[in-house]
Each structure stands twice: as C-alpha cells, then as structure tokens.
Structure 1
Amino acid sequence: MEYNELIGRIAYSKAGRDQGRFFIIFDVINDDYVNIVDGDLRTVEKPKKKKIKHLEITDEVMEDARDMIISNNSISNIKVRRFLKNRDAIKEG
C-alpha cells in the first residue's frame, strides 16, 4: 500500500495503552511507523508514533482530512473528534 493511501484512514489500536481506541492516520514515517491522532488524547499538534503492526487499518477514509494533510493545510482536532464520533468509532471505557 502506498504511503499516501494510508493518510486519512481510520485505524484501530490492537496493542499498547491506547488499545481499543480508534485513530486517524496523520502521517507515514516509514514502512514500520505512522503518526496517529484522535483529536482528544493524541492531538494534531502532538500525534502518537505507532508501529503499523500494532494497528488494524480499516478501509474507511476521512477524505476531508486526507486532502488537507496532503496539501499541507492544517486540520483541527475538533474535526477529527467529530468524524470519529459520527462514525461511532470512539469506544466507551
């Protein structure tokens, strides 16, 4: 899968302290690592570096975020949170 194809995709954390949470892939670092955000604990200003093998990457893409990230425009944490909430992607404790 191409790097740009991963940006904006929703991913589910399979391991770590954030296990069970959904995120949006914000940046691809290399073949092993990506930066992820959820707009809450992991903000756009301070994304989480995560191994790809610890994520379950879904087919669902946040197109607005993807376009903004690729064109180097900023995306707000509120938009990320709303998108994840609207998709029922944020699991409750």
Structure 2
Amino acid sequence: MERAERGMMAWSLAGHDRGKLYVIAGVEEKYAWLCDGDIRPLEKPKKKKWKHIQIMKRIPVEFRDIQWEHVKNEEIRHSIKAIGLQNDRR
C-alpha cells in the first residue's frame, strides 16, 4: 500500500466506477473512503480496497492545511474538475 493522506486524489481501477477520479476522504488499514462531491458526497463516501485504486501523489491546494469538517461537496467537485484531466481513463 502506498502512503495516502486525506485530500489526495485517486483513480478507481476496478468496479463499475473504473476510471473515475475521487478525493480520498478517509484512510483505514485496508480501505480508502472516496468521494467525488456528486454521486458520492462527503456524507456517503465509497469504501474501496487499496488494490483497487491508484493514488495521485499530490494534494490540491484547496485541501492543504484545512479542517476536513468544513469542506463542502462543491469544493470537491471543483477540485476534481480543476485537475484538468478527463474523469474517465478507459
């Protein structure tokens, strides 16, 4: 497992959401909790095994040094869009 932190971006590698870009909202030993601010909001993150995601080793500027309790779904949607990448890597 790569070292991951809350706020990093991750691609889904397996499942019906393969190729989708998420923000890591939580970190556990075997799982990551992912959200996209739209279908998977912060209130209902997706639980995914580490082997099923690819972590991007950067944290968007808007997620550095912030309190996660104050992050909004619209900020997550905006940061995913601002990455400038296709949200589908198939």
TM-score bin (small chain): 0.7 to 0.9
Identity, in percent, stands at: 33
Residue 24 of structure 1 is matched in structure 2 by 23
How many residues align structurally?
88
Residue 48 of structure 1 is matched in structure 2 by 46
TM-score normalised to structure 1 length: 0.80
Counterparts in 2 of 1:1-93, with a 5 A limit?
Answer: 5-29=4-28, 31-65=29-63, 67-68=65-66, 71-91=67-87
Counterparts of 2:8 and 2:79 in 1: how far apart (Å)? 11
Large movers: runs of 4+ above 4 Å: none
Instruction: Give the number of the structure whose residues are more often helix, by fraction.
Output: 1
Counterparts of 2:43 and 2:53 in 1: how far apart (Å)? 21
Cα pair 2:30 2:49 within 8 Å, conserved? yes
* Partner SS, residue 67 of structure 1: coil
Counterparts of 1:88 and 1:41 in 2: how far apart (Å)? 19
CA RMSD of aligned residues (A): 2.1
Cα pair 1:8 1:63 within 8 Å, conserved? no
Instruction: From the superposition, tell whether residues 9 and 72 of structure 1 become closer, same or farther in structure 2 (CA, over 3 Å).
Output: closer
Instruction: Name stretches of at least 5 consecutive residues in structure 2 with no aligned partner.
Output: none
TM-score normalised to structure 2 length: 0.83
